[in-house]
Amino acid sequence: MLDGLHTMSTDCTPTPDIPVILLAAGRGERMRPLTDVTPKPLLHVRGKTLLHWRLEALQHAGLRHVVINTAWLGGQIPAQLGAQFSGPDTALPPVHLTYSHEGDDFGHALETAGGIARALPALGTVFWVMAGDVFAPDFAFRTPAPAIMHALSQGDLLGHIWLIPNPVNNPKGDFGWDPERGLALNLAASDLRPRWTYSTIGLFHRDLFLPPWCAIAPGNPDGLAAPLAPLLRAAMDQGRIAASIYTGSWTDVGTPERLAALNLP
């Protein structure tokens, strides 16, 4: 069951302490045999686990409350991290950690939308979502621009996602982008406009995970698994998902070969 978490302020004042959900429940099939004994977010890149890289960045950005969902070998994550995280900079306040144990509660991972719906009662009105198995050391989780926070907390936007140039493992991309309006686009298959890849990093309003967008009850008491992409595409069709382009270092650590490449001297 979910541990308690305070709801953070989400108005457009310059507070950086926005709740975060780190997605760490997946099986990591393509990473086998490494993930037969270790959950993928605990694999090491350049001397630190993928989760440590993420949590250090969040700590430096002033983000203090993180929910981590778990399933496959999920007990290893709280056993290693505990209830709070402190990086090498001991002058910074620690990051407080709570867990959504999907494997313990339901016997399986709930996919992205199902996992977020499960954790929703422990998140604020606006919150960060990010995958725990992506290596993006240059992404700064700084205070979002006041315009972004205002659009999410007071306007019609349901999300603001970061798109990246298509990596070799996703050459066709995921979504289009309208730079004039700053919106992500759900392009038809026949639409020849460029597509970008979703970085797995985004800010979302909780309403995206409520009806009519998401049919799962808050807290997901039935343990329903559901992907995020259909919710994003439906909201994009209504012009309610904004996007920015991120061009810094980014790797989906999805195979042993990509992990080995990151660890080359």
Q: Which domains does the chain have, with CATH numbers?
A: 20-262 (3.90.550.10)
Q: Which of 66, 62, 53 is nearest to 127 (CA)?
A: 66
Question: Which tens digit of pLDDT belongs to each residue from 4-42?
Answer: 332 233 333 334 578 999 999 988 788 788 888 999 999
Q: What is the mean pLDDT of the chain?
A: 88
Tell me the per-residue pLDDT of 182-237, one tens digit each, with 9 for 90 and over.
999 999 999 999 999 999 999 999 999 999 999 999 899 999 999 999 999 999 99
Three-state SS for 20? strand
End-to-end CA distance of the chain: 42
Least confident of 71-75, 87-91, 116-120: 87-91
Residue 134 to residue 154: CA distance in whole angstroms:
30
List the 20-24 sheet strands across, edge first: 84-85, 95-101, 65-70, 20-24, 126-131, 197-205, 159-164, 241-245, 183-185, 176-178
Question: What are 150-193's pLDDT values in tens digits?
Answer: 888 887 899 999 999 999 989 999 999 999 999 999 999 999 99
Amino acid at 95: V
